Amino acid sequence: MAYPDHGDPLRILVCGASGFLGTDIARALELRGHVVLRGVRNPALHQRQHPERQYVAVDFQRDQQAEAWFDRLQGVHAVVNAAGILRERGEQSFDALHVQGPIALFEACAAVGVARVLQISALGADAQATTAYHLSKLAADEALLALPVSGVVLQPSLVFGSHGASTRLFTTLASLPLLPLPGDGEQLVQPVHLDDLCSAVVLLAETLEHEGERIAVVGPQALPLRDYLAVLREGMGMGSARFFSVPGALVGAAARLGDHLTGALLDRDSWRMLQRGSTSSDATLSEVLGHPPLAPVQFIEPQDRAALANAARLAWLLPLVRLSLALVWFAAGVVSLGLYPVEDSLALLARVGAGPELGRLLLYGAAGLDIALGVATLVWPRRVLWVAQAALVLGYTAVITVFLPEQWLHPFGPVVKNLPFLAALALLYTFEERR
């Protein structure tokens, strides 16, 4: 069923257009030739970066009355709501971002005559839902389907996209020498490729078919988490996987800890959702697409294999490098406080030209600085920190070279070890993501 009385192309508002799903959905609609209004919280910032695109202000925390949306919906044929969060953080709440804001938007769409509304929900947002995430999605889904508007709820399972947080988590796990499995690793997942989700959105935005339906956006097969990780590992060209089981009680404890850690992907709700499983029939999605969705073995293109594998390895190697550097700084500081004979340390400082009083000041000051750098390495990963550490190591090395040159020839290599230390700092400077 086609739109009544509309021109071509369609004018489509995508809410959450700067997020993982929204970014690619907006791009897919634009490539199809439609006029896309990208709804973001800070349109001015995005407009400066992409002046060729159209941005509008969308803030579900603020716009929770239907009247607030009327002006922005003038001339809009379709709306796609791809905004959402996986965890509540600060002022970002499920009630505001998943319920109140979207419902106000849907009511406004019905009031002004928007022809089509697509809600990106989640598989599991149903009568059996127990988590706050699923329940909040369910509330908005039901509100949309109860309105006099051509609405469709899309319920994606685990979405594979190279820039997605969950994909990075699973590819990182799959790249480990030994792959940890929560419990027995038999939790069922049915991952779908981001391209199939975007194609479904485009096709559903262009017609009024499947009105009032909930469509499971899933891959063609359900498989245990163990098998999914093995498929990803093989897809990245890393060979067969070796697993070890993490007891469920330990995973549960880690999930409880994750509730209190900003940015943690594992918390109690995500653990409950994984245990419940995320599967459904792909029949309706296949009907919409006109073909079956991609299977997990097709997710990773050969030309993307090396880049994805390197990114996955760096995701756990860089934290390992940071941890090792932090331990070196901690050890240097603690040893200087007295584990190594203070008189011997003062004797070395005397050769540099520091008397007893100045020597103690330098010794304990350097020890405190080393410990502080160890803490900063763990909690404040910034490029300026790696530059500062490199400068300090080079300074230490220069002083030792001038006043204590025999240390270069020490059989334990206390100065030579500065070279791999500097190489590790260069690695962090180059690859560590800046927050």
Q: Dihedrals φ, ψ of 80, to 5°? A: -120, 120
Pairwise CA distance, residues 289 & 177, whole Å: 38
Burial of 265 per CB tally in 10 Å (0-12, 13-18, 19+): middle
Question: Contact, 206 vs 11, CB < 8 A?
Answer: no
The CATH architecture to which 11-161+184-223+268-300 belongs is: 3-Layer(aba) Sandwich (3.40)
- pLDDT tens per residue, range 251-310: 989 888 888 776 677 888 888 888 888 899 999 999 999 999 999 999 999 999 999 999
For tokens 């998943």, name the residue: 98
Q: Report which secondary-structure segment, H or E, holds 151.
A: strand 150-156
Beta strands in 187-271 (DSSP E): 188-189, 192-193, 214-217, 223-224, 243-246
- C-alpha gyration radius of the chain: 27
Kindly provide the b/e burial profile for residues 119-140, where b requires at least 16 CB atoms within 10 angstroms of the residue's own CB: bbbbbbbeeebebebbebbbbb
Instruction: Output the CA–CA distances (angstroms, integers) from residue 268 to 123, 205, 256, 275, in the order listed.
Output: 18, 35, 6, 11
Pairwise CA distance, residues 213 & 138, whole Å: 13
CA 113 to chain centre: 36
Tokens of 420: 């791999």
Per-residue confidence (pLDDT) for residue 263, from 0 to 100: 65
Q: Dihedrals φ, ψ of 122, to 5°? A: -155, 140
Question: Contact, 54 vs 37, CB < 8 A?
Answer: yes
Is the full-model pTM beyond 0.85?
yes
Tokens of 69: 């949306």
Q: Read off the DSSP letter of residue 153.
A: E
Pairwise CA distance, residues 414 & 63, whole Å: 61
Kindly provide the b/e burial profile for residues 205-222, where b requires at least 16 CB atoms within 10 angstroms of the residue's own CB: bbebebeeebbbbbbbeb
Question: Contact, 14 vs 36, CB < 8 A?
Answer: yes
Per-residue confidence (pLDDT) for residue 433, from 0 to 100: 62
Strands 188-189 and 223-224: antiparallel
Per-residue confidence (pLDDT) for residue 435, from 0 to 100: 43
Question: Contact, 267 vs 88, CB < 8 A?
Answer: no
Q: DSSP string of 318-358?
A: HHHHHHHHHHHHHHHHHIIIIIS-HHHHHHHHHHHT--HHH
Domain borders along the chain are: 11-161+184-223+268-300, 316-430
Q: Dihedrals φ, ψ of 278, to 5°? A: -145, 80
Per-residue confidence (pLDDT) for residue 131, from 0 to 100: 93
Question: Contact, 227 vs 131, CB < 8 A?
Answer: no
Per-residue pLDDT of the chain (435 residues; tens, 9 = 90+): 566 655 679 999 999 999 999 999 999 999 999 999 999 999 999 999 999 999 999 999 999 999 999 999 999 999 999 999 988 888 899 999 999 999 999 999 999 999 999 999 999 999 999 999 999 999 999 999 999 999 999 999 999 999 898 899 999 999 999 999 998 899 999 999 999 999 999 999 999 999 999 999 999 999 999 999 999 999 999 989 899 999 989 998 988 888 877 667 788 888 888 888 889 999 999 999 999 999 999 999 999 999 999 999 999 999 999 999 999 999 999 999 988 999 999 999 999 899 989 999 999 999 999 999 999 999 999 999 999 999 999 999 999 999 999 999 988 888 999 999 999 999 999 998 654
